[in-house]
Structure 1
């Protein structure tokens, strides 16, 4: 399995990005809305958890979908939580790690997490926590990123210097195996490619930085990227230009898992 970035670096990166995140988060909103539509119509949670809530966009959406439920928003980045608290949507905002959540067992009917769990190195621990928190019949709904995300940028960097400049992500097969052994029933687990286009390389790298999702892997090249390397990267990426602009592909996996209801 690919080595994932240190969670302290993740928290710091996303805290710094809290103020700029929503301005460039169209993909995150599109993916999260799709995940909302995948929720079972029969689900009427008394308490939901937005895990990796970020700026709280989907905490507010969940509050609208389930107006009579109690909402909890959790994020590892305190800067994101400070931003989310200002807009409400949930009744509680808690700093927490998805692998070790500070919540009691069987306290939620829905664990919703959109484009956050790719940063968790121990995904089985996340699944165990979801199983622990969910009441019988409760649902874990998540979206995450797979191998193949930012592949155009990865390949362009590979042509320039061979270093890893792009975050690593798990394969869909890894997700499938871990979900199958989670103790939760898998109702949906499928990958969709989301493709964005940017007018130039600077627009793409600015968006990644504003999202807090620029390269935060261990083993990345130290120091600033030299001007010559950036010029070479732009030239390599330009070879991929399409009529709509420079392509950027995100491979998104959507999962709907359910805890067995009591007989």
Structure 2
């Protein structure tokens, strides 16, 4: 089974499943989103120095945490937040930050062209099967000189969990992600000027397997792949998985590695 999904091979989850899963997770998401916060703040740090957009879009806004962070960073700016998951938008709207919260798809944004100076998207575009379409839409929606800043996940994410499941059975239990090289190639072909593009690992540690799997479910980011096993996972298989994962244990706990992609792209004047 390939670890490098494309729009054509059906390796990324159906976006209706993604929307439903994240809608269900809206109330629990913020309680377990330490990685998401750290990655988003790092993406904010990578914005060009002195860049102060008057109009911005938080693409894949989730609970609206970074809509509020953007509003705080750019006081007096006009913010728009967009997400495919209605449950997330219902959670985000009362907390403010953006002027408007809109349901929409990153691959087909319901927005006029040339209206935004910044598109900020943290840990959302990994769920989009057609990243070339996301890039084209971002380029369409941005004004000349505008910036598309995104973070995502690439191959190697949750590799310890993937390898442990591989020792138990041959099913797809862990979400698949694109290769870093795919992001680099697609960005190079997009017409954007890349200001920053690369990946960095983030490793979290857990006391036990149950804590990790509970967190993935609370985030709405548990296995959404086509080809995942149906029905309940038997206790014997869970015990086998836990035993396999113990082989990765470090003094600080069971590691879960996230390979984080950061991209900052400019639409040339």
Shorter-chain TM-score tier: over 0.9
User: How far apart, in 2, do the equivalents of 1:244 and 1:86 lie?
Assistant: 38
Aligned equivalent of 1:155, options 163, 176, 180: 163
Deviation at 1:28, TM superposition (A): 0.1
- Show the counterpart of 1:192: 200
- Show the counterpart of 2:29: 21
- Where 1:202 maps in the other structure, the secondary structure is helix
Q: Number of residue pairs matched?
A: 261
Q: Write out per-residue CA displacement over residues 52-80 of structure 1, whole angstroms, 9 at most, x where no aligned residue.
A: 00000000000000111100000000000
- Show the counterpart of 2:152: 144
Deviation at 1:233, TM superposition (A): 0.3
Q: Write out per-residue CA displacement over residues 3-59 of structure 1, whole angstroms, 9 at most, x where no aligned residue.
A: 211100000000000000000000000000000000012211110000000000000
User: How far apart, in 1, do the equivalents of 2:222 and 2:91 lie?
Assistant: 20
User: How far apart, in 1, do the equivalents of 2:224 and 2:67 lie?
Assistant: 26
Q: Write out per-residue CA displacement over residues 157-196 of structure 1, whole angstroms, 9 at most, x where no aligned residue.
A: 0000121100000000000000000010011101000000
Deviation at 1:209, TM superposition (A): 0.1
Aligned equivalent of 2:86, options 66, 71, 78: 78
- RMSD over aligned CA atoms reads 0.5
Deviation at 1:155, TM superposition (A): 0.1
* Structure 1 unaligned blocks of 5 or more: none
* Structure 2 unaligned blocks of 5 or more: 6-10
User: How far apart, in 2, do the equivalents of 1:73 and 1:141 lie?
Assistant: 14
- Show the counterpart of 1:164: 172
Q: Does 1:52 align with 2:63?
A: no
Moved more, 20-29 or 37-46: 37-46
- Show the counterpart of 1:250: 258
Deviation at 1:148, TM superposition (A): 0.2
- Where 1:160 maps in the other structure, the secondary structure is coil
User: How far apart, in 1, do the equivalents of 2:53 and 2:86 lie?
Assistant: 26
Q: Write out per-residue CA displacement over residues 219-239 of structure 1, whole angstroms, 9 at most, x where no aligned residue.
A: 101101111100000000011
Aligned equivalent of 1:10, options 18, 26, 41: 18
- Where 2:27 maps in the other structure, the secondary structure is coil
Deviation at 1:218, TM superposition (A): 0.7
